[in-house]
Structure 1
Amino acid sequence: MAFLNSFDISGYGLSAQRVRVNTISANIANAQTTRTNEGGPYRRQEVIFKAIDFNKVYNKALENETSALEYSDPLKEGLAGLKPNPAIMSVVVDKISRDDKAPKMKFDPSHPDADANGYVAYPNINPVVEMADLVEATRSYQANVAAFESAKNMAGSAISILQN
């Protein structure tokens, strides 16, 4: 059913934005972390999204279905003229990349992680940028929730119309 596609699209968007919010939250939480297991200060992480064209997947599945049918089958003749749904694009998390910018160096000779010159390497994280990204990710998440709710209400209305 075509209306289920909107649930899928919203679901993928919700999942991707949830990962983004979690990553940004980790960046904010570790903005003052000067020592990690890998050594050195915490490195900012950024989520990279990737668009998925479900139209290609749908066309391939449709081709496989029609090629599996016998040539004399009337169903195959009906499927031969079938046009696929419009392109359905979605987004998934491609990867979480690490920002390798140079850390901020602050003079603090009393800090346990200070180098021989008294400088401490702090993560190169700007809390203002992180908060702006967090607001953007939260709003995107809310938009996907609203789209999901609208699709749910439309499906419920359609079912109630069919019941009457």
Structure 2
Amino acid sequence: MAIDELNKTLMISAAGMRAQSVRMRVIAENLANAETVGLKPGDDPYRRKVVTFASELDRATGTDTVAIKGVTRDQSEFGTRYEPGHPAADANGYVRTPNVNMLVEVSDMRQAQRSYEANLNVVDSARSMLMRTIDLLRG
């Protein structure tokens, strides 16, 4: 019974780590493209991506785990910057800039990292308990 519960704990934490890993990859992509603008007037700049999560039943263990529902594009407005010499500048000299806010991305990255680390700590604790259980069964 205890081994089954530890297995469920490991499955739940592993799902959380997978989800946060995807989230960190998407955030890194947003950060890398925070200055990516169009090549000519009227072109859209990079549009921020957002990860959404869903609860998913793991039929093997009978537990709910987190899963990636999808990666969508943030539909918030683009910014503008006055740069009349840029190839993507409009007739008034403005270039449309990505809707990526560096402060939001860094904050999201820290939150995802903390969630990943919390799940990793659970895995380490469960592994340690499993090893102690095996030692007790041997002796």
TM-score of the pair, normalised by structure 2:
0.89
Structure 1 portions without partners, runs of 5+ = 59-84
Query: Which position in structure 2 is the counterpart of 1:45?
Result: 49
Give the total of aligned pairs.
133
> Which sits farther off after the overlay, 144-153 or 39-48?
39-48
- Cα distance in 2, alignment partners of residues 8 and 35 from structure 1: 43
Identical residues among aligned pairs (%): 37
1:5 and 2:5 aligned: no
Q: How far off its partner does 1:3 sit? A: 1.7
- Cα distance in 1, alignment partners of residues 132 and 25 from structure 2: 35
Structure 1: 4+ residue segments shifted above 4 A: none
Structure 2 portions without partners, runs of 5+ = none
Query: Which position in structure 2 is the counterpart of 1:75?
Result: none
String of CA shifts for 1:16-55, please: whole Å, max 9, x gaps: 000000111111111100038xx4100000000001133x
String of CA shifts for 1:34-82, please: whole Å, max 9, x gaps: 038xx4100000000001133xx36xxxxxxxxxxxxxxxxxxxxxxxx
Of 24, 27, 46, the match for 2:27: 24
Max radius of gyration: which structure? 1
Letter in 2 for 1:88: T
Give runs of aligned pairs for residues 27-106 of structure 1, distance below 5 A: 27-35=30-38, 39-54=43-58, 57=59, 88-106=63-81
